Amino acid sequence: MMPIAPLMIEHRLIERMIAVMKKELVRSRKEKKISPKFVEVVVDFIRTYADQCHHGKEEDILFRDLNKKELTQEHKRIMEELIEEHRWGRKTTKKLVEANERYIQGEGESLSVIADYMRSLIEFYPRHIEKEDKHFFIPCMEYFTDEEKDAMLKEEWEFDRNFIHKKYRKIVAKKIGEVVEYVE
């Protein structure tokens, strides 16, 4: 299996979440309200799965290894665009969190802000995924030997194997710090 196969499989799950977001956005427009819990689920999915896990593998493994190769100008440009798009996704998700917090506090106009950020993410991900799937991942595999591809794939599996443990170790460490601060 090529190291991009898991990344492309992950794209299919992201696309499914985008479809769920579209349905909720339509419902929220009709009802003129949204579930803050739904927004929290969206944020968790985007931050944890799409960004930390999926984009993490792209940036920390694939892009890192591509940076060691002599890429064409086009591939360099696309990789830089993808990195910038990842940053945009993080910023937009942060703004969605802030709008959701304001919505929970009763700021009525924040519903339209939530809708705008969700719509932006809904429009962003399909374009981003298409760029990666059709214009970047497959052509970039030509830069690697079979051994290099196998090594990346193993590293991706190891990344996945350790990912959830790292996430929850950080959460527990943060909570321990909060408890210690509270007690002192």
Number of domains in the chain: 1
User: pLDDT digit string (tens) for 25-54?
Assistant: 999 999 999 999 999 999 999 999 999 999
The C-alpha atoms of residue 4 and residue 46 are separated, in whole angstroms, by 20
- Note down the domain range covering 33: 4-183
Band the pLDDT of 181: cuts 50, 70, 90: low
pTM over 0.85: yes
- What's the mean pLDDT when you consider all of the chain? 92
Q: Does residue 183 surpass a pLDDT of 70?
A: no
From 79-83, 90-94, 166-170, the region with the lowest mean pLDDT: 166-170
We report the CATH number of the domain holding residue 26 as 1.20.120.520
